[in-house]
Structure 1
Amino acid sequence: MSRAFVKEDDQEEIPIISPRAHLSVGEINYVTSLGLRQLMDERESLLQERSNVDISYANERRIALLVINGKLQLLNDRIHSARQIDSSSQERNSIRFGAKIQLKIDGTVKTQNLQIVGVDEADIAKGKIAFTSPLAKILNHKKVGDQAILKLESGNRIFEILKIEYP
């Protein structure tokens, strides 16, 4: 049928599904055990949400299911590509994936605690940074007492490593 005979009201909006946290093509999707558990819990929650979709209008139900199924597809892709890293197998005296780090910033007395985690688990408010972040990259392989320099447009920020732990 020609588009000339389709009412504009019949045009349906394609649902927009927010992308997951960025992970470059070909980059390994490292996750902590907690991060993998969170992904699995998220999948269970979406499956439950999908089974509970109860909308009286067929079109609304179809759109709601499209959104949930789209989120599930993105999540399943992320779960299938996940490579869990056991923090107990990491070298204890240098910063690697999963490390909890205490840093002193720019020679001040101010310290910051961070953990290097997977991209889906990263949450700066909780002190968790993605292994793909510029800060995590400059901290990689550093040891207690080392300094890491993060180059910013406004100048360099120097971090001194005070403590490294693995959960």
Structure 2
Amino acid sequence: MGRSLLMLGEHATDGELAVRTLRPKPVPFDMPAKLLNHATVRAFNAMYYNRVQRSQSTRRIPFEPFFYPLDALSNWNRIYGKSGFVQHQFGLPKAAGVTGLREVLKHIAQSQRGSFLAVLKVFGAANHNLLSFPTEGYTLALDFKAEPSVFAA
């Protein structure tokens, strides 16, 4: 079903919080619709995956690229072309997580529709904090190029 990179983060407990103010690189125009396809998504994913030289590394990075990686590009949505993209996000309780995620990924692999961007998050048990996630488990967000076949049942 594929491979992935797992990026985990822990808040640093030493030093000051530094906020970077880098200017994002612009995507100046809508990309041609045919540019984002199975082959180019596959090539991009291979390049991104292979940029990691070690099987495991630890390093300190600013919080912006960790939490907001797409902010490195302004108008990043133009990569999807004029039709844009559709994001599908869902949650699964912890008990159903591994089996449920495997089924969803199997279905996507069989459809041969690659997701240009996928974000998997793990949530702990709910608590009384205002931003607490309501259920312990997983969420997966997937971006797909908006095209008629994506909306087929």
**Which has the higher relative contact order, 1 or 2, with Cα contacts under 8 A spaced 6 or more apart?**
2
Which of the pair has more CA radius of gyration? Answer: 1
Give the TM-score taking structure 1 as reference length: 0.21
- TM-score, normalised to structure 2, is 0.23
Indicate the structure with greater strand content.
1
